Amino acid sequence: MSAIDAAVIGCSAGGLSALQQILAFLRPDLGIAIVIVSHTGPESANLLPELIGHSCRLPVSEAQEREPVAPGRVYFAPPNYHLLIEPDRTFRLSVDACVCFVRPAANVLFISAADAYRQRLAGLVLTGANADGARGLRAIADLGGICLVQAPETAVADAMPRAALLAVPEAKVVRLEAIAGELDTLCR
């Protein structure tokens, strides 16, 4: 039985190709929800679900307000909104101020998801040029969740994984090419 019900992922600079590499290798019956914050411009149309959808065998969509977080699906935060998960495991949006200069912020998603899923959650911080995700990953670790960080030497921008490792030294460091396999193992 799967050790987790959901995985939350945060990424920024270099994130698109890292996500493609990871999501393309996930099996369609993975059985957990995957929720992603990727920093994009505030007025950009949300092209990520479509871009990623081409290479991913799980259904990919933008998270809708009040939608239940369903297993076996991949969700992206909409541009210019924070994405949160409520205790009843439904999505919520907010236009609260930027966190770490970004909206959506991985920290906001991670902290709310840690509350909603406790130890049934994995948090993953990928490539990026700022410190978003570190505080959120700490919250996931504190509530018993599983913490993964992309090995900085495999990241296009290593600031985000390095900041995450400073905040959560006990997180498991995984090379980009091994992340899909790691998620797969957690779900068996």
Partner 1 sequence: MSATEADILDIEVSLFLEALFRRYGYDFRHYAQASIKRRVKALACVLGVPSVSELIARTLRDRSLLPEILAQLSVPVTEMFRDPAVFKLLRDQVLPVLASWPRLKIWQAGCASGEEVYSLAILLDEEGLLERSQIYATDINDSALKKAEAGIFPLSIFDDAERRYRLSGGRRPFSDYSTSAHGFFRMHQHLREHIAFAHHNLVCDGVFCEVQLVLCRNVLIYFDRELQEDVLRLFHDSLGRGGFLCLGTRESLRHGETGGDYAVVDKEHRIFRRAERAVP
In the bound complex, what is the minimum distance in angstroms from residue 69's beta carbon to partner 1? 12
SS3 content of the chain, % helix, strand, coil (to 5): 35, 25, 45
Neighbours of 184 (CB within 10 A): 13
Indicate whether 95 belongs to the interface with partner 1 (CB under 8 A).
Answer: yes
> What amino acid positions are annotated as catalytic residues?
12, 39, 132
Q: Among residues 75, 76, 81, 117, which is the contact residue for partner 1, using CB under 8 A?
A: 81
Indicate the pairing of strand 74-76 with strand 60-62.
parallel
If DSSP codes are grouped into helix, strand and coil, which group holds residue 9? strand
- Spatial distance between the Cα atoms of 137 and 158, rounded to a whole number of angstroms: 16
Instruction: Rule CB under 8 A: choose which of 27, 118, 172, 175 binds partner 1.
Output: 118
Is 105 a binder of partner 1 (CB under 8 A)? Answer: no
Q: Does 137 bind partner 1 (CB under 8 A)?
A: no
Question: Total residues at the site for partner 1 (CB under 8 A)?
Answer: 29
Q: How far is the CB of 46 from partner 1 (least distance, A)?
A: 10
61 binds partner 1 (CB under 8 A): no
| C-alpha span between 38 and 51 (Å, rounded) | 13
The residue assigned the tokens 């239940």 is 68
The residue within the footprint of partner 1, chosen from 96, 153, 177, 184 (CB under 8 A), is 96
| 16, 143, 151, 173: residue in contact with partner 1 (rule CB under 8 A) | 143
Give the residue, chosen from 13, 93, 129, 178, that forms a contact with partner 1 under the rule CB under 8 A.
93
First to last CA, the chain: 6
Give the range of 13-21, 48-56, 83-91, 157-165 binding partner 1 by CB under 8 A. 83-91
Strands of the chain, DSSP E: 6-11, 33-38, 60-62, 74-76, 82-85, 91-94, 121-125, 146-150, 172-174
- Using CB under 8 A as the criterion, which residues of the chain lie in contact with partner 1 when the complex forms? 43, 64-66, 78, 80-81, 84-87, 92-97, 108, 111-112, 114-116, 118-119, 139, 142-144
